[in-house]
Amino acid sequence: MAVIGVLLLLSFFGRVAPSLLAITLALILATALNPVARFFERWMSRGLAGTLTVLLVLGTIVGLGFLAVPPIVKQLSGLGESLPTDLNQIEARLNSWLSLNPTLDRVVPDDAPGRLAEQAGKLGNVLAERLPGVLTLVGGGIFTALVTLIMVVFALGNPVPIVNGFLGAVPAHYRLNATRALAQTLKQMGAWGRATVLVMLVTGTVTAAGFYLLGVQNWLVFGILAALGELVPTIGPIVASLPPVLFTLASDPEKALWVAVFVLVFQQVSGFVLAPFVVGGAGGLHPLSVTVGVLLFSGVFGIVGAFLTIPFLILIKAVYQHFYLRDAPDIPDAVAMALISGVVEEQMDREEEARKAADRAIQEVRDAELERQLQEGELDLEAVLDEHSEHDSTPVVRPAPRGNAESGGPPRGPERPDT
């Protein structure tokens, strides 16, 4: 019965996972927008401040859409028109490259480029066949987005019952730690929201300007794609940098090389300068933790899980710090540095060598004494064997004596009481 219950529970969560994810996304967005609502709360009620915050975000998105959508549509149409030509150029360059590499030419089938172009040409038909399903998926996504937006308005407008309900569900002796963890989460989540928007703006602007100066077609589309790639930590920028390089490679390999160099340099600057100073204060998360989190959460929740990686990690870190780390011993960083740098290993090796040297010295003295006793006829074999047995930590079981140790007679029995 327990197994059946677990399976039913997993099936239930599998069916409601999208709804739970939408609720989680709404709470995280409300938390990230909370600093903006607190700013407006100085001049109006909390409900109006929350509504105004959401309307301001929507107005910004719509305004950017009106400015960016017409050129994006124009560039996308140009990209679609040039796609067959680009594919033919890629096929010609692939054939030329294979002819210069006989080894690969023997491995790759002769009709491989043609088959690749044929499959790419069928892409439009495949998309047309799947258009109803895509429209259904898009419609469901729009509905979920609207519901999520409404939940964000409610959560921002009246967050007191939500916070009280959360704290009330925590046992009394953990409530103070839960309050501190929630305060840290609210602070770092707001910083994460501001940092993410700033990094997206900088990345999109610099990337689009760089592509424009390099003469890359569809530079605006690729710039917006680079900005959206910042929503997925670590992996998103890498994936967003591939399309401009590949599409430029079809028409101008030399230009594609410069595009790749520009993208690589900007990613290094963004990863080592922009992200640490802007995003680093949002949560103080280790890059390895972020990468592992992206892999885990994207595997469970898809692309939305990858976007929610840093909020999830901020929450996990706050719970860990205020529920476990406060009671854990304070281990200095010098201990970890000693382990990483090999100082502890060297110290252990020195201690082991000293112990072995001391054992050798003791053994040499013992052997010399035994040699002297052997030469002078004073060697007590039983005592030597007993000493070695005690040295090896092996208990020695001696047989009980048959006679009295003093008189050599039979062993004494228990004493009888005087009568």
Residues 21 and 163 placed together within one structural domain of the fold: yes
Same domain membership, residue 93 and residue 153: yes
**End residue of a domain, out of 307, 328, 349:** 328
Helices (H), 100-157: 102-107, 112-121, 123-129, 131-157
pLDDT on residue 78: 58
Same domain as 266, residue 181: yes
Q: 160 and 180: one domain?
A: no
- Whether residues 281 and 183 fall in one domain: yes
* Domain co-membership, 213 together with 197: yes
Q: What angle do CA 190, 191, 193 make, to 5 degrees?
A: 65
Residues 181 and 290 in one domain: yes
Q: Say how many CA atoms lie within 13 Å of 269 toward its Cβ.
A: 11
Q: Is residue 385 situated within a structural domain?
A: no
pLDDT of 355 reads: 92
The answer to whether residue 4 is domain-embedded is no
How many C-beta neighbours within 10 Å does residue 278 have? 17
**What integer pLDDT is reported at residue 403 of this predicted model?**
46
In contact, 236 and 306? CB cutoff 8 Å:
yes
Digit-coded pLDDT (tens) for 93-128: 666 665 666 655 555 555 555 565 565 555 556 656
Domain assignment present for residue 276? The answer is yes
Helix, strand, coil percentages in the chain from 3-state DSSP, rounded to 5: 80, 0, 20
Alpha carbon 26 to chain centroid distance?
22
Tell me: pLDDT of 319 over 80.
yes
Average pLDDT over residues 2-24: 66
Instruction: Indicate if 58 and 119 belong to the same structural domain.
Output: yes
**Cα–Cα distance measured from residue 371 to residue 3, given in angstroms and rounded to the nearest whole number:** 72
The residue from 265, 299, 328 where one domain ends is 328
Is 92 among the domain residues? yes
CA-to-CA distance for 36 and 142, rounded, in angstroms?
Answer: 25
Q: Which domain holds residue 79?
A: 17-169
Q: Could you tell me the pLDDT band of residue 400, with boundaries at 50, 70 and 90?
A: very low
Q: What is the mean pLDDT of residues 4-16?
A: 63
Q: Are 160 and 211 members of one domain?
A: no
pLDDT for 102: 60
Higher-confidence position of 38 and 119? 38
Report the distance separating Cα 221 and Cα 199, nearest Å: 17
* Domain count across the chain: 3
Mean pLDDT value across the chain: 73
Element (H, E) at 180: helix 175-213
Q: Structure tokens of 124?
A: 């439009």
**Domain-terminating residue out of 135, 150, 169:** 169
Asked whether residue 139 falls in the same domain as residue 286, the answer is: no
Domain identity same for 155 and 32: yes
**pLDDT (tens digit, 9 = 90+) per residue, 164-216?**
888 888 888 888 888 888 888 888 877 777 788 888 888 888 888 888 888 88
Of 303, 310, 245, 237, nearest to 279 (Cα)? 310
Is residue 28 a contact partner of residue 189, using CB atoms and an 8 Å limit? yes
In a shared domain, residues 181 and 296: yes
Whether residue 255 is contained in a domain is answered as yes
